[in-house]
Structure 1
Amino acid sequence: MELIDLVLKAGRSAVELSLFVLLPIMVLMLCVMRLLEARGVMDWVVARLAPVLRPVGLTGLSVFAALQISFVSFAAPLATLAMMEQRGVSDRHLAATLAMVFAMGQANVMFPMAALDLRLGAALVFSLAGGLLAAAATYHVFGRNLPAFEKPFDETVKHPTAEDGKGVLDVINRAGAEAFRIAVGVIPMLVLSLVAITFLRQLGLFAWLTGLLGPLLQAVAIDPNMIVLTLTKALAGGTAVLGLVDDMLREGAIGTPLVNQSAGWLVHTLDVPGFAILISAGKRVARVARPAVLGACVGIALRTVAHLAVG
């Protein structure tokens, strides 16, 4: 009976978080993104940013991947990475793009966290800075021996158009359906993650680790709750962290200052689920994962320090 109660509680939390927090935000953001794409605004932005970002190893499609992860979800750049591989983008540029995606904060966690008092403006700025540093570190240091030659290729992305009212309505309907798929799609993983986390907490594993490492963390002014949050992030991903943070805030275990201070450390895609999903974009993407991960660590370190400094 205790196990059933645990599963029901986790399921209720997962559904509430997905449908009442994640879904409305994703509908709004996706509608805005898709309408901007349909109007050609996104292509205009990409075309002007691409030359500026070339020195850090990013291409026009890389810019689009950055916009996708910042305003859609962590899985959105998957199609762009696959497209980059198919169109012949060099391994070096591919590694830089993957590092950027790993290091940046994903929209499906950052925007719902804004409802939990995350300072969204600062988080987006730090996310972009971390992504650019990750790309530069990968392109110029960790991936400098990767092939950089590439043939000319098409960097445009095909979008639906919205020339009239019907076109606009079609774009909004498709964006709403996409947002619903994203929100519903995270429920199974979120339920399993919350069940596993609650089960481990009841077994006393987190309490044991907190008791073991807590004094060391407190000595350097780090909240011991970061142990649970970090393990959850690494093993279950950002959405699970979002659910756990929501529960801990309701229980009064943590406060909103910790949400902002820990965002750089906890909100990115370099975790087990995110890594597995993103490297599935293609064989060359998987092949450049090692330098990309190293570069991403540099970007995440920058974001962590920035969030701690701002508080």
Structure 2
Amino acid sequence: MDLLIDVILRAGRSAVELSFFVLLPVMVVMLSLMRLLEARGVLDWVVARLSPLLRPVGLTGLGIFAALQINFVSFAAPVATLAMMDQRGASSRHIAATLAMVMAMAQANVSMPMAALGLNFGLVLGWSLVGGLVAAATTYYGFGRRLPATEQPMDEILHHPVAESAKGVLDVINRAGAEAFKIALGAIPMLVLSLTVVLALRRMGALDALTGLLSPLLLGIGADPGLILPTLTKYLAGGTAMMGIMDEMIRAGSSGATTLNGVAAGLLIHPLDVPGVAVLISAGRRVAQVWKPAALGAGVGILVRMVGHGLTG
């Protein structure tokens, strides 16, 4: 019992430190910046200019906005945009392409805080864009080509607050801060539970046994056996939980920036995991219906990101 309590307390301390001292400050600054750009109409201008260029890969104006949200806000931010696409008459084929892109890209709530751990954020952002576009095109022309492509007349105007005065700017920043706090607070339960399980398995020797069992196979294909633990954590508990594990490993000296910026950046930093998919498909009925072709397309995009990071990391 003493061992269990010690594991829980250690996991809780690590989860709170990661959420409030790493995740929260980054999210406050980036969300404030994004919301101010949104309120000033800058994002509307960017979306309007990029829409004609990205239509050929199956993305609409709202799809482009979803890409900005996942890369600069959090993995959950595109849920509202996907819901708008569902409600405003976007075709199932376009929804699938957008969902695939989102699931293949790097989520800001992991990539930005991990920059403090040595992650090359600029490189991650570049390959995130490439992987997302590949995922969207692969889904639109491949896995989702038989989905309905008929669109209703669609309102792609993004309704949001404006910031024309000092009070308006302050209101936008306050709302962004509250949103960032909600993201950081919401990450704590999953972090505590996942870190508790991982630390308990480590104390019992289960993780060492699994690593020893799989290491020869991974070494044979040139992969890092040290990625076993964060990979299992990521796909079962999500990106934020994986970030907690990587933070522990880096502090212990068993991992470092070289590992972060290699194939691991493409393999681990995206929302194609159990919690991520569950959150994204909650956006609407038609979004949930197209998750399978979208996940297949996202898998192709993630593979491209892994190869890219392996070559340039």
Please state which band the TM-score falls in when normalised by the shorter chain.
over 0.9
Q: Deviations over 1:56-114 (max 9, x none)?
A: 00000000100000000000001111111000100000000000010000000000010
User: Counterpart in 2 of 1:130?
Assistant: 131
| Aligned residue pair count | 311
User: Counterpart in 2 of 1:150?
Assistant: 151
Q: Deviations over 1:144-203 (max 9, x none)?
A: 000111022100111101001111111111111111111111011111111111122223
Aligned equivalents of 1:128, 1:203: Cα separation in 2: 41
Task: For 1:180-219, list aligned pairs within 5 A.
Answer: 180-219=181-220
TM-score, length-normalised on structure 1? 0.99
User: Counterpart in 2 of 1:296?
Assistant: 298
Q: Deviations over 1:256-304 (max 9, x none)?
A: 1001111110000000000111111111111100100000000000000
Q: Deviations over 1:23-59 (max 9, x none)?
A: 1100000010000000000000011111111100000
Mean Cα displacement is larger for which, 6-15 or 221-230?
221-230
Which SS does the other structure have where 2:193 is aligned? Answer: helix
| 2:118 and 2:256 in contact (8 A); partners too | no
Structure 1 position 205, deviation (Å): 2.6
User: Counterpart in 2 of 1:237?
Assistant: 238
TM-score, length-normalised on structure 2? 0.98
Aligned equivalents of 2:206, 2:49: Cα separation in 1: 51
Which SS does the other structure have where 1:74 is aligned? Answer: coil
Aligned equivalents of 1:255, 1:65: Cα separation in 2: 31
State whether structure 2 residue 94 is matched by structure 1 residue 93.
yes
Q: Which one of the candidate residues 286, 289, 298 is aligned to 1:287? A: 289
User: Counterpart in 2 of 1:73?
Assistant: 74
User: Counterpart in 2 of 1:260?
Assistant: 261
User: Counterpart in 1 of 2:35?
Assistant: 34
Task: For 1:23-62, list aligned pairs within 5 A.
Answer: 23-62=24-63
Gapped regions of structure 1 (runs ≥ 5): none
Mean Cα displacement is larger for which, 216-225 or 53-62?
216-225
Query: Which stretches of structure 1, 4 residues or longer, exceed 3 Å deviation after superposition?
Result: none
State whether structure 2 residue 308 is matched by structure 1 residue 306.
yes
Which AA in structure 1 matches 2:193? L
Which AA in structure 1 matches 2:279? I
Structure 1 position 218, deviation (Å): 1.4
Aligned equivalents of 2:273, 2:146: Cα separation in 1: 25
Aligned equivalents of 1:37, 1:119: Cα separation in 2: 26
Aligned equivalents of 2:33, 2:70: Cα separation in 1: 14
Which AA in structure 2 matches 1:308? G
Structure 1 position 221, deviation (Å): 2.4
Aligned equivalents of 1:219, 1:60: Cα separation in 2: 45
Which AA in structure 1 matches 2:143? F
What do you get for the CA RMSD once the two structures are aligned?
A: 0.8
User: Counterpart in 2 of 1:273?
Assistant: 275
